[in-house]
Structure formats: structure tokens, C-alpha cells
Amino acid sequence: MSVRIHFYFILFFFCLSSCKVVDFGGNSLKPLASQPLPGTIGVLQSAEFIEAGVPKLEEKIRLSFQKKLYKKRSLRKHNKKELQKDQRLKIIDSLDLRPYYYKIEIADKIGLIATLNESENKNLKTFLEATQRNVIITSMEIYFPSEVAGLIDQASEIYLVNNKTSSYSLELLNKDRSRNIIDFNEGTSFGYGFSAFCWRENNRRQPEIAAFRKKGRSCPGVTETNPEKLKSEDIFEKL
């Protein structure tokens, strides 16, 4: 068993036994003035998201996606992001015509947590240890034009990939194992869901990210919202 697979197994067992990996934001995702990407880390201030960085992905991260019809509330959020009036969408009730969008969410949260703890993201993890206000975007509501939406509808799997330096793209895997790469800037994102971090000590007594948590909630099990608390507690008190 490789070191990477062994690490995934241990982390998966730990999260099942003591850490529920969750998002916060509920069904109605928060609108932002900017259009950050899933996996982006930063500070949330009202409708402003101040980006701090993005993890380097050595392995692609599996996403889940749901196709949703616009309702009046989601349509208003979308149209606020469109500067050109002719790009704004409409619901025609008389003809029952409703455009649709996608809710994209990090499905492989355990894989994303493992990525955040890996050596290529050491500087980013050190930054997160020193700050307590940062969150990570784990879901997004996004509209794509019909030609791109058609490719998404045909895909059997969707992944988040480092297709460009310091930026992410969507990789669509089809049933025939062919693939397409979609850039997020081909669509219009208008709602976001966020997760905060929980920490624990690894077998070298060093802090590592163990789970995501809801905003304002305490961390589950032996994990802590503040990694500094791990250093001041006796290990036997946490068993």
C-alpha cells in the first residue's frame, strides 16, 4: 500500500469516526461581488470575498453537480452579475419556460483535505494555522450557455483540476472515457457555499486539517477550530 493511499485510508477512517465533514450556507448560497472558484481560500466580509490563495492540486478532485431550474430569487441573484441587459435571463411563466443552472459542490472533501495537508501546500497550510477567519469555497451556483451546458449534461463525472497555473477548470469525463475541459469564466457564477476548518495533531504532533465545519459551530471529536489549542493540551486529555 502506497504512503498516499495509506494516508487517505487513515484520514477517511478518522473522519467517519469523529469528524463530520460539512458545509455551511444552507440551500440558499451566498452571492458575492466577485466570482471566485471552488477550492479558493479567503476571508468572507458581507458580500465581499478577499482571496488568500488556492491549493495546488496534484490530483483532481471529484465534484457533484445538480441541474436546477431558476426561481425568482436565484434569477435575481444571477441577473445582478450580468452587466449587459441582453445577457440577463427571463422566466416566461405563460409558456412555462425556465432557464436552468448548476449547483457544483466538492464531493471528495476527504481528498481535498488530504491535498491541503500535502507538502506542495505547506505554505498555504502554515498561513491557515496563523489565521482563524479564512474559509474555503466548497459549492457554487453557476449558469453556462447552452453549448457548454450540453457538454455537462452528457458527462458522467466532473472533476476540479489545475488546468492552468494558479487557476482551476472543470474536467468533464464522458461515458466513452473521452473528456472536455471547461473554464469557469465560460459561465456566470452567482451563489457560493463556504466551509471553515477543524484541526488535529498528526502522528508527528504537528497540526493538520482534519475536517470542515459549519460557521459558528464547534469542531467535532478531538479536533479544534484553533490549531494553537492543540499545542497546549495534553494528549491524554484528548483520548
Tens digits of per-residue pLDDT, 77-90? Answer: 887 877 566 677 87
Residue 171: is its pLDDT beyond 70? yes
Higher per-residue pLDDT: 205 or 2: 205
Average pLDDT, the chain: 82
Alpha-carbon dihedral angle through residues 185, 186, 191, 197, given to the nearest 10 degrees: -50
Q: What is the residue-wise DSSP string for 70-117? A: --HHHHHHHHHT--SGGG----BGGGTB--EEEEEEES-HHHHHHHHT
Q: What is the residue-wise DSSP string for 131-179? A: -SSEEEEEEEEEE--HHHHHHHHHEEEEEEEEEETTEEEEEEEETTS-E
Residue 213: count other Cβ atoms within 10 Å of its Cβ: 23
Tens digits of per-residue pLDDT, 52-73? Answer: 999 999 999 999 999 999 888 8
Tens digits of per-residue pLDDT, 186-229? Answer: 999 999 999 999 999 988 888 999 999 877 778 888 888 888 88
Give the C-alpha separation, 177 to 169, whole Å. Answer: 18
Domain extents in the chain: 3-238
pLDDT (average), residues 90-112: 83
In this prediction the pTM is: 0.80
Tens digits of per-residue pLDDT, 7-46? Answer: 444 444 444 334 444 444 445 577 776 789 999 999 988 7
Question: Measured in Å, how far apart are the chain's first and last C-alpha atoms?
Answer: 28
| Strands 155-164 and 188-201, sheet pairing | unpaired
Q: Are 68 and 102 in contact (CB under 8 A)?
A: yes
Higher per-residue pLDDT: 93 or 94: 93
